[in-house]
Structure 1
Amino acid sequence: MGGSVRPTMAFPSAPSALWIVSLLTVLFTAVVHSDNVGDDDPLQPMTSDETVSVGGTVTLTCKVAESDNSSLQWSNTAQQTLYFGEKRALRDNRIQLHRSTPTELSITIADVLLSDEGEYTCSIFTMPVRTARATVTVLGVPDKPQISGFETPVRDGETVTLTCTSTGSKPPARLRWYKGKEEVEGRPDVVESVPDEPTYNVSSELTLEVSASDNNVPITCVVDHPSLAPEDKRSEQALQVLYSPRVHISPDEMLPIEGQKFSLRCFGKANPEPHDFSWERKGEELPPLARADGDVLSFSMLNKSDNGVYICRADNGIGKGMEEYTLQVQDTTAMSTSSGVDHAVIGGVVAVIVFILLCLLIVLGRYLIRHKGTYLTHEAKGSDDAPDADTAIINAEGGHSGAEDKKEYFI
């Protein structure tokens, strides 16, 4: 044919043709590197390194400042073409086109694997071919930590060593210990690499000397890792400490009175709970009217002879605890005297209040009487000199003017 044919660049659809394109990309990259192109080149691709956790999604973006209608391409770490413009080249449904314009090619990789880590290449097919690289760092998410070494309760004063282990982290995770809400220091983390895997297993030990106050206190192991939110993964285990009873005696009445009923109750705080209680009176036998029934010592009728120091002992199999209570029985005379004093105080207060009220009433009464008298005096003025009743009324209503007029009349 006489006309000239303008060469065009068509993207091959067959897989073999895509591999040829990939191979050409490698050859061009080996000959001409992006480092040979100036930073102010508007056709030079620009990329950025990315970090993603296993199972997450990463977006790879390649941009140029200007376009000469050349196609952009993304290749993976094995230099396999992933996307050439808008066309998928690798059959991996995890890889999807995010955006394709003359100046940008963005793709996403979902459900990221550790094997996806590496250097990805963006190329633009100009003459010469220009490239840029983006490093994808994949974080191995550590598993939930496991605490071991505390299978059975320990006694008060003993030492316990706990071990916290977390697997599958990349880079190695850091383990932190808490006792209650307070952070405590464990031994330095032990890091072990996993055979044939780029991940690590991390363990840490915590040694504690426990006391009774540590019973039911939670011990927590927390994993610190860039792939996790703060304290996102943690394990907790409560300490179980066996200790002897801490005994306390509580009376049912704060003021024991002669002739009344009275009882003492013995409380034993322990782990396990105390199961055996005993009562005694220091240096003497228990009174005849006192009856011990487990943790309660009761008196059917108090007597002054019941005074003394009473002892409760509690046993839980781990140890024994005791507490003393001094009983002082108050007789009815003392109570009457005390009651009389109270009544006298109350009576004095009432008398003062009554006296103040009386004073206020007297002052108020005098004030009212004084003002009432002044009113009556003004009201009657001018009526005393009247010759008859009618004139008195007229004088009372008219005030002094009538009287003055009358006086002038007679003159």
Structure 2
Amino acid sequence: MARKDARNKHDFTNIIGLFSVVTLLTFQGALSQQVKVEPEVMSYPSQAVNLRCAFADAGGIQLTQVSWIYEPKEGERLNIAVFHPKFGASYPTSPLKGRVRFTTEPPSLSNPSIQISDVKMTDEGKYICEYATYPSGNEQGVTSLIMLAKPRNSASGVTVIASTVAAGAKPVVVARCESADGRPAAQITWVTAVNGNATSASTAGADNTVTVSSQYMLVPTAADNGKDISCLVSHRTQAKPESFLMKLAIEYPPQVTIVGYDDNWYMGRTNVALTCQATANPIPTTITWKTMTGQMPDTVQVKENVLTVLKVDEQANTTFVCEVKNRLGTGKDQVTVMVREPSVVPSNAGVVAGAVIGSLLALLLVAALIAVLVTRSRRQQQGYRGNPNHSSYDIKSRIFGGGKKGSKNGTGAGAGGNGVGGNNSPIYVYKEGSAHDGLTDKANHHVPLHLGGRGEGGVATAQDILLSGELDEAERRKFDQLEDDEESYDHFGRGVPILQLRPPHDQDGIMGGYLDDDMESQRDGSVISRTAVYV
């Protein structure tokens, strides 16, 4: 039980102590705000640097003494400058003795700034301006002195030999980059399209400087030769990164290709050439042409990497080989030539004949097209002349006559003048025992015979009218054509009476049937009696 109480008492004491430390640090931080210093100062070697310090507002605080303390990154604290209003300035022994002094003479507690001349890289560290006050105790401000050293940057490529074994090949260094004697340490990056990796290392230099080295490694191939690679060095003393552009140097034996053979070397062909193209590093030293048979044809000329066959013959039917050498080895390529028979050039006469035949066919086609168009146009024009007003070409005019021209000889006939050659004109017959001698106009009493009229009393029946409506467009055109050509037929019927024979003692209805059987249609669209006698 006693042991437990002792342990609890010990824990409580630790908590109180930790609280006291935190409180003291917080109080000191609050007090330190009254000591005004620059948090960071940068300088180059051999320069003079000023470290400023001031007490912001003393108020009721009594300032008794001010001291500058140097705290290196590694090592103990050292007093480098002390000022007391009664005893004056003092500079204790330190690595800065003789190079440090107060900036005002005599110094004062309100402005105890100091200057360090001929600064060295080893002077880098923290510098503490500390006031001794009453009754507050010590108050301080801290300034970090950062020494800068501009590095010497450089880069270089490394010449390597291309790897010949794909599997198990190890990366090698192909480029190096270095930033020497800099402060602080520089940063190095690589920019390239090749697939590799970079490694970096830092080493301490003289006078507290740092040297950074980086190298780029990859498995070299012939395809990587000549590609770009850049090293970028970034440092605090530089406004922008310094860039070093390099070309990869990968050595490899010659890679050879023969071009120029088109697989159309025929007998008698002239001036055909083969070109030997080679890439290598280092540059090829020799280029040699030869054949598999060992003997070069007489018609072959060789100039550097070009082989020319002046005239193709049977000797060119061989295999040509091109060999290229450099310091690392030999590369070669070959092509086998197959000499062919000369191709047959088409005759000019055949070409001309084909052109003539094609032209004739084109002309015939155009002529046929023109003929069709002209024929159609004529037919349309004839149809318009035969019946200019088709809308008025009704069934009534077809039955009772619709000739365009006036009656000739006072008979009332339409086309044909005398009743011959007009389909729409009345038909005249000779009837014995009629009240009027001579020709009689049957159209005054009967439907025209070519329409099959048999109505009683000379009146057309409804059936006759309907039947007459079945005439198609082709018949109309025939009738129109007859009207246009009526003048050519006028001389045939003009002044010539028509005498039609009929059996004696005609009964009613017999004449109509007789006439129907007697009339015959002609190709030109007219109707002529089989028994009529034209005198």
Q: TM-score category by the smaller chain?
A: 0.5 to 0.7
Alpha-carbon spacing, 1:268–1:228, altered in 2? closer, same or farther (3 Å): same
Conservation of the 8 A alpha-carbon contact between 1:74 and 1:123: yes
1:118 aligns with one of 116, 125, 141: 125
Which residue of 1 is the match for residue 183 of structure 2?
170
The answer to whether 1:279 aligns with 2:286 is no
Conservation of the 8 A alpha-carbon contact between 1:174 and 1:223: yes
Q: Secondary structure at the match of 2:153?
A: coil
Which residue of 2 is the match for residue 49 of structure 1?
39
CA offsets, 1:308-348, max 9 Å, x none?
322112223432211112323443335659x9xxx9xxx9x
Q: Secondary structure at the match of 1:213?
A: helix
Which residue of 2 is the match for residue 303 of structure 1?
313
Distance in 1 of aligned mates of 2:262 and 2:67: 87
Which residue of 2 is the match for residue 134 of structure 1?
143
CA offsets, 1:228-260, max 9 Å, x none?
577x23545544344322111121767434322
Alpha-carbon spacing, 1:114–1:204, altered in 2? closer, same or farther (3 Å): same
Conservation of the 8 A alpha-carbon contact between 2:301 and 2:307: yes
* CA drift at 1:188: 5.3
* CA drift at 1:169: 2.7
Distance in 2 of aligned mates of 1:38 and 1:276: 82
The answer to whether 1:267 aligns with 2:277 is yes
Q: What is the TM-score when the length of structure 2 is the normalising length?
A: 0.43
Aligned-pair RMSD on alpha carbons? 5.8
CA offsets, 1:41-74, max 9 Å, x none?
797346663374748999989899989799xx99
Distance in 2 of aligned mates of 1:43 and 1:188: 42
Which residue of 2 is the match for residue 392 of structure 1?
none
Alpha-carbon spacing, 1:48–1:294, altered in 2? closer, same or farther (3 Å): same
Distance in 2 of aligned mates of 1:183 and 1:122: 54
Question: Which amino acid is the alignment partner of residue 319 of structure 2?
Answer: V
1:213 aligns with one of 207, 223, 237: 223
The answer to whether 1:185 aligns with 2:197 is yes
Conservation of the 8 A alpha-carbon contact between 1:245 and 1:269: yes
Question: Number of residue pairs matched?
Answer: 310
Which residue of 2 is the match for residue 194 of structure 1?
205
Alpha-carbon spacing, 1:170–1:270, altered in 2? closer, same or farther (3 Å): same
Distance in 1 of aligned mates of 2:205 and 2:43: 18
Distance in 2 of aligned mates of 1:318 and 1:335: 51
* CA drift at 1:302: 1.7
CA offsets, 1:67-108, max 9 Å, x none?
9799xx99795455457899896678x9xxxxxxxxxxxxxx
Conservation of the 8 A alpha-carbon contact between 2:176 and 2:215: yes
* CA drift at 1:141: 3.7
Question: Which amino acid is the alignment partner of residue 153 of structure 2?
Answer: K
Q: Secondary structure at the match of 1:256?
A: coil
Alpha-carbon spacing, 1:74–1:311, altered in 2? closer, same or farther (3 Å): farther
Q: Secondary structure at the match of 1:287?
A: coil
Distance in 2 of aligned mates of 1:385 and 1:88: 141
Conservation of the 8 A alpha-carbon contact between 1:304 and 1:331: no
Tell me whether 180-189 or 271-280 shows the greater mean CA deviation: 180-189
The answer to whether 1:319 aligns with 2:329 is yes
Conservation of the 8 A alpha-carbon contact between 2:224 and 2:248: yes
Structure 2 unmatched ranges of 5 or more? 1-23, 71-79, 82-100, 165-170, 391-402, 407-535
Which structure is higher in RCO with an 8 Å CA cutoff and minimum separation 6?
Answer: 1
Equivalent residue runs for 1:293-372 within 5 Å: 293-303=303-313, 306-333=316-343
Q: Secondary structure at the match of 2:311?
A: coil
Conservation of the 8 A alpha-carbon contact between 2:52 and 2:112: no
Distance in 1 of aligned mates of 2:32 and 2:290: 99
